[in-house]
């Protein structure tokens, strides 16, 4: 006895076809999802480096303010003029900051213009802060 196929040809072979996804479809999904993950990770790493730079810059600004305070207090309390040139290192909690201080008398010998440059290395780039300020030595009281 011979059975002849009848009806719609798509219905006849539906049990013979494999169910599920092909290997090409699965690989395409993996490639698309991995590209999305790489983009998200790159954005996160970029934001982390910006946050690290902001934290280091904030700490450098605090240390620069302390150095300025030392110079101003030495001028006010000990009548000590700021040095004409000074180079050194300031220690932060995570970074070592290199500073360079230059000063020059402005007009009278009582007023000094001081420039303080602070630099550090951040992600293979040289970053820095520059502050310009004036220091006035107090006058000696006349008797």
Q: Cα angle at 51 between 121 and 132, to 5 degrees? A: 55
Q: Rounded to the nearest 10 degrees, how much is the dihedral formed by the CA atoms of 19, 21, 22, 28?
A: 170
**Amino acid 102: pLDDT:** 95
Q: Which structure tokens are listed for 3?
A: 């059975």
d(CA 47, CA 58) in angstroms, rounded, equals: 16
CATH number of 22-136: 3.30.1300
Query: In the structure, what pLDDT confidence band is assigned to residue 28 with cuts at 50, 70 and 90?
Result: very high
d(CA 65, CA 50) in angstroms, rounded, equals: 22
Read off φ and ψ for residue 121, nearest 5 degrees.
Answer: -95, 130
Digit-coded pLDDT (tens) for 109-136: 789 999 999 999 887 888 999 999 999 9
Digit-coded pLDDT (tens) for 80-97: 889 999 999 988 888 889
């Amino acid at each position: 006895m011979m059975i002849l196929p009848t009806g719609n040809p798509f219905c006849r072979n539906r049990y013979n076809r494999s169910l599920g996804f092909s290997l090409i479809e699965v690989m395409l999904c993996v490639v698309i999802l991995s590209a999305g993950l790489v983009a998200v990770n790159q954005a996160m790493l970029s934001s982390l480096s910006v946050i690290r730079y902001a934290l280091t810059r904030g700490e450098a600004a605090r240390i620069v303010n302390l150095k300025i305070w030392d110079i101003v207090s030495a001028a006010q309390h000990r009548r000590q003029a700021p040095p004409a040139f000074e180079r050194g290192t300031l220690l932060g909690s995570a970074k070592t900051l290199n500073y360079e201080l230059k000063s020059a008398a402005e007009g009278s010998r009582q007023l000094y213009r001081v420039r303080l440059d602070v630099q550090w290395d951040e992600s293979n780039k040289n970053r820095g802060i520059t502050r310009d300020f004036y220091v006035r030595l107090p006058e000696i009281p006349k008797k």
